[in-house]
Structure 1
Amino acid sequence: MSGCPARYDEGLGYWVVDDPAMAREVLLDPQTFRPDNAVLAHTPLSVKALRVLSAVGFALPPTLANNAGESHRPIRAAVARFFSPARVAAVEPLARDLNTSLVATASARLAVGEVVDLVQAIAAEPPALVLTHLLGLTDVDVPALKAWSLDSLELFWGRPDEDRQLELAHGAAEFYAWLRARTTAAREAPADDLFGVLVELGLTDEEVCAVGYFLLIAGQETTTQLISTAFHHALGKPINSAELVEDVLRNASSVPTWRRITAAPTALGAVDLPAQAPILLGLTSHGGPADLAFGIGIHRCLGAGLARLESRVALECAQELLIGVRPIEEPPMIDLLSFKAPKRLRVVTRGNTSDNSRG
């Protein structure tokens, strides 16, 4: 980093840390560099958007990603049981079946000259279906979950204007109302699913909803985005699936940055930072290890192993399809403060010379 461990970016409003070793140092010291701002809105919410959220009791108290207090450990332990290595390994056949079926459908559409969006056709739904299976959740409207997730990511990590904020806030409020209903149902009839475990832990309704809100977005949408990016990198060429996943994590992760805030005046190398200085950590594309894409320390992503498995399986199942297609446009991007991936990836078969194909 040319000897500068942190630089202030006026446009972003953050102290930016791109050096992987320094980012690692920050993540390993959650008391000095607190996670309090991890899920705050990057763009301050308008009064109208806040009213929509307030109407459903929307709140994100410290639970997982934004928690450096004593309650973090028991909450994390309760959630981690759903992501044990054995449980993750056991869902590979499900992930493979889901991807195989979707790839077959997409291949048939391509064979008759259709344009296929690989994001929606293959990458979108398997991570959500696998996650809800792992968490013991049934009767989940997956298309609605996907829409709620994208709305929430843009609302909290994007730069929407007031009109767009209001639109996004309605999606976030619908999601939160659904979480409230599931929490209430878990109190009335406890079960061994995510909500039942959190209720049994003694969390408040707001804490249960906050865990669900973060986990049900981060646990599947970021994997969809990782798979979408990997598909983009794999178009038209043979690849080693596991190696490509690691390369994408290292250089083009779906979560390229994450936030922290200083608890008191402190220093990063020779740079003095004031108290409450917001920090944006560069996790990928700066020469660091692939594993840094999932963070490190007490807030390391619980789904790291799952994301790697699902991305590898998706690439393995789609490899023949990916070799035989070409994009018809430069893909538009999800380009948020901490999330980046192709929004869509429209392709045709390599033998199809028309970009005006059906679909």
Structure 2
Amino acid sequence: MSGCPARYDEALGYWVVDDPGLARAVLLDPETFRPDNAVLAHTPLSVKALRVLSAVGFALPPTLANNAGASHRPIRAAVARFFSPARVAAVEPLARELNTTRVAATSARLAAGEEVDLVQSIAAEPPALVVLHLLGLEDVDVPSLKAWSLDSLELFWGTPDADRQLELAHTAAEFYAWLRTRTTAARRTSGTDLFGVLVDLGLSDEEICATAYFLLIAGQETTTQLISTAFHRSLGHRIDPSETVEDVLRNASSVPTWRRITATATTLGDVQLPPSSPLLLTLTANNGPADQAFGLGLHRCLGATLARLETRVALECAQDVLTRVRLTEDPPMIDLLSFRAPKRLLVVTDGNTGDNWRH
């Protein structure tokens, strides 16, 4: 929106920055535009929800996405080693195997005349299994991790009513209690997995749990959502997988916005912002570069290369299925402050039944 560098949205409670150049400038200036609010609950937590979280010692001290202090660099460096270019490249065969197996099973179900959800049947689990492999984590219940992740995203970026928020708080507490169990085990036995590395870094239990909490969510659920969007946009026609990935990142990323807050009074364009002004930066669908979907600077997504690889591989493996199916409904959406993607993609083999919802 030219001429409107920042507009205050009363309903959201944020100064919205749509211009990609200004969003870039904000992301590259973490001293003026701090990340302190990056993982705060968009809907303030109720007393009842806080009590549930407090019972398991739930805490989110500054670690990665919400950290602009001195501890950010060593934590980020420790985690980044798990996502080195060599390690990410080496995991492609695993990603391809996981997708190929699920695509074959999906094809068989479609051939038998079944209605299939492409999100659950193909997109959901491979990113989780891949990131757990990279982080050296074994004995993780993937369906539980997926459920914990979706509920935590809704708790922190959604607008749940009081009853739903309390339900989500119980799920988040369950996830956090599991993280504490893994942290305790890592302190007893040294290891080279994520928890062992964070223990060796000298972090507190709360810092380890906070790092792992959002890393295990962002490291796989946002990729599942990116793949789901790419599938949706590819239905019914042949595509170039690499080009489709970049197009989705530019126009419909699974993380369309991100938050910052002003450290002091400052000017953005010609708009005067007081201290502690919350900003909502538009990262995608604003004619900006595809790469900006992953953020920039000190807090750029550590899994950007991995997400691109996994989405490309999923599209390559599923392309034959995607060209011969049609939706049986207009897909319901995950529609949170900073996360958006199809919740499900119910399809049948093209020509089976019902109206064609593909678009």
TM-score grouping bracket, smaller chain normalisation: over 0.9
Cα separation, 2, equivalents of 1:15 and 1:94: 42
Matches within 5 A, 1:86-125: 86-125=86-125
TM-score normalised by structure 1 residue count: 0.98
How many Å apart are 1:354 and its aligned residue? Answer: 4.3
Cα separation, 2, equivalents of 1:187 and 1:112: 50
Cα separation, 1, equivalents of 2:93 and 2:306: 13
Give the secondary structure class of the aligned counterpart of 2:179: helix
Matches within 5 A, 1:263-302: 263-302=263-302
**What residue is the counterpart of 1:322 in the other structure?**
322
**What residue is the counterpart of 2:226 in the other structure?**
226
Ranges in structure 1 where 5+ consecutive residues have no aligned partner:
none
CA shift in 2, pair 1:9/1:354, >3 Å: closer
Specify the code of the residue in structure 2 equivalent to 1:19. D
How many Å apart are 1:2 and its aligned residue? Answer: 2.5
Specify the code of the residue in structure 1 equivalent to 2:298. I
Specify the code of the residue in structure 2 equivalent to 1:54. S
- 2:332 aligned with 1:338, yes or no? no
How many Å apart are 1:351 and its aligned residue? Answer: 2.5
Cα separation, 2, equivalents of 1:42 and 1:34: 17
Specify the code of the residue in structure 1 equivalent to 2:198. L
**What residue is the counterpart of 1:51 in the other structure?**
51
Specify the code of the residue in structure 2 equivalent to 1:317. C
- 2:200 aligned with 1:203, yes or no? no
**What residue is the counterpart of 2:158 in the other structure?**
158
Once the two structures are superposed, residues 156-197 of structure 1 have per-residue CA deviations (whole angstroms, 9 ceiling, x without a partner) of 000001100000011100000000000000000010000000
Once the two structures are superposed, residues 223-273 of structure 1 have per-residue CA deviations (whole angstroms, 9 ceiling, x without a partner) of 000000000000000000000000000000000000000001000010000
How many Å apart are 1:325 and its aligned residue? Answer: 0.2
Task: Report the more deviating stretch, 214-223 or 346-355.
Answer: 346-355
Identity of aligned residues (%): 81
Cα separation, 2, equivalents of 1:298 and 1:168: 30
Cα separation, 2, equivalents of 1:276 and 1:190: 41
Ranges in structure 2 where 5+ consecutive residues have no aligned partner:
none
Matches within 5 A, 1:139-154: 139-154=139-154
CA contact (8 A) 2:332 2:342 kept: yes
Cα separation, 1, equivalents of 2:153 and 2:354: 35
Cα separation, 2, equivalents of 1:178 and 1:105: 31
**What residue is the counterpart of 2:4 in the other structure?**
4
**What residue is the counterpart of 1:311 in the other structure?**
311
Give the secondary structure class of the aligned counterpart of 1:264: coil
**What residue is the counterpart of 1:176 in the other structure?**
176
Cα separation, 2, equivalents of 1:335 and 1:182: 31
How many Å apart are 1:353 and its aligned residue? Answer: 2.4
Cα separation, 2, equivalents of 1:89 and 1:229: 23
Specify the code of the residue in structure 2 equivalent to 1:89. A
Cα separation, 2, equivalents of 1:151 and 1:69: 28
Specify the code of the residue in structure 2 equivalent to 1:31. E
How many Å apart are 1:3 and its aligned residue? Answer: 1.1
Task: Report the more deviating stretch, 346-355 or 181-190.
Answer: 346-355
Specify the code of the residue in structure 2 equivalent to 1:228. S
Once the two structures are superposed, residues 28-80 of structure 1 have per-residue CA deviations (whole angstroms, 9 ceiling, x without a partner) of 00010000000000000111111100000000000000000000000000000
CA contact (8 A) 2:2 2:19 kept: no
Structure 1 runs (4+) deviating above 6 angstroms are none
Cα separation, 1, equivalents of 2:316 and 2:210: 34
Cα separation, 1, equivalents of 2:171 and 2:336: 17
Cα separation, 2, equivalents of 1:198 and 1:353: 53
Cα separation, 2, equivalents of 1:162 and 1:55: 18
Specify the code of the residue in structure 2 equivalent to 1:128. A
Cα separation, 2, equivalents of 1:319 and 1:30: 41
Cα separation, 2, equivalents of 1:175 and 1:195: 15
Specify the code of the residue in structure 2 equivalent to 1:94. L
Specify the code of the residue in structure 2 equivalent to 1:206. E
RMSD of Structure 2 on Structure 1 (CA):
0.6
Cα separation, 1, equivalents of 2:124 and 2:333: 15
Give the secondary structure class of the aligned counterpart of 1:238: coil
CA contact (8 A) 2:148 2:171 kept: yes
- 2:15 aligned with 1:15, yes or no? yes
TM-score normalised by structure 2 residue count: 0.98
